[in-house]
Amino acid sequence: MTHHSPKLSGKKIINLFIFSCFMLSFWFLIFGIFLRPSAVIAQDEAAPAAVVSAPACNNALRERLAQQQRILRQIWFGRKAASELPVNSVRWDANGVSWMKMEPDVWRAPAKGNDPAARNDAQIDSTTEWEGMNEKNPSGNRIERIGIFEQKQQITSELIPELTQSFRAFQCRAAMVCETAYRSFLLEEPDEQGLISVLTPGCDDMVAEPIAECRFGNADSDEGDKIHNSADGFAETVVRTECGPLVKQLADREAAFLRVAVSYDAAVRSLMQSSGSFDEFLRALRADVLAPLEQTMPLLSKLGRIPCFSSQCNE
């Protein structure tokens, strides 16, 4: 006796297909909620998009100029390891967040209020901002550096060429910040590393990361032209007007600070040199003058043994 499998009708096939699609969608939803890819999580935790406006652009400019100022101070006075810094020292990380040393091997970010998260000395050293002209640090190493003023066995006049060169480089890098903002206005596309080429008069070609807060231009999806509305044009004019004088004011202040630092360094080195020379003089004085006097002291105690040949002697 032969058994035949029951045939499915068209209605049952449609119902089975709808049920299969429903179950497939359900499992996709479950996997999407509980097994989210790490890339999606990282995208959700990323910083929000930058606000494009004149105040935001000015703040970004000031932050980058402050970074260039800190880099200049590190070139002058050096950068020590976090473990060697005293309490209440401040260090900035690669994201521009300041960290203060509250106690040995404990750093906290004052800007975050009472955030319990803290970093140790090793974490501070590994995340310290890098002085690579806003380039990305490929190796991630932030080694210690000796400042120009920390060089020993040299007089201050021998440090002037290095100090002058470092200040000139600071002027170029500060002007680079303004030029980076101007190129961000034009929506210049960065390279594969996210950097754009910046050229300032009298300086070498440099690369920098575009300033997202200064990208006032909007790309037209139909024509591909870069257009500006009236508000963006006004904001761009404000930034162009304020950036140049701000850089000049910062450069003038650093020049005045450098004059004071050079005067203080010259006074200290001259004092140390004079103290060393005076110490050598005292050594020579003891050998040539004081030593004979010390040798005559035993003779004074023997003067009483000399007989008296005068009539005034009372024995």
Summarize pLDDT for 20-64 with one digit per residue, the tens: 655 655 554 444 434 333 333 233 334 445 677 778 888 888 899
Strand, helix or coil for residue 40 = helix
Tokens of 291: 């030593």
Q: Which residue has the higher pLDDT, 222 or 114?
A: 114
> How far apart are the C-alpha atoms of 315 and 270, rounded to whole Å?
62
How far apart CA 96 and CA 81 sit, in angstroms, is 18
Strand partners, 106: 103
Is residue 166's pLDDT more than 90?
Answer: yes
Between 137 and 258, residue with greater pLDDT: 258
What is the pLDDT at residue 226?
45
Q: How far apart are CA 236 and CA 9, in angstroms?
A: 70
Count of H-run helices and E-run strands, the chain: 7, 7
Give the separation between CA 286 and CA 292, rounded to whole angstroms: 9
What is the identity of the amino acid at 71? I
Return the pLDDT at 18: 62
- Is the pLDDT assigned to residue 7 strictly greater than 60? no
Using CA atoms, how far residue 283 sits from 161, 276, 290, 295, in Å, is: 36, 11, 10, 17
Q: How far apart are CA 214 and CA 229, in angstroms?
A: 14
181, 243 Cβ separation under 8 angstroms: yes
Tokens describing residue 39: 């890339």
C-alpha span between 61 and 240 (Å, rounded): 11
What confidence score (pLDDT) does residue 22 get? Answer: 55
Give kind and range of the element (H or E) at residue 207.
strand 206-208
Within 10 angstroms of residue 134's Cβ, the number of other Cβ atoms is 22
If you compute the radius of gyration of the chain from its CA atoms, what whole number of angstroms results? 37
The pLDDT of residue 55: 81
| Residue 188: φ, ψ to 5° | -70, 130
User: Phi and psi for 134 in degrees, rounded to 5?
Assistant: 65, 10
The answer to pTM > 0.75 is no
Cα distance between residue 309 and residue 302, in whole Å: 17
pLDDT at 133 exceeding the cut of 50: no
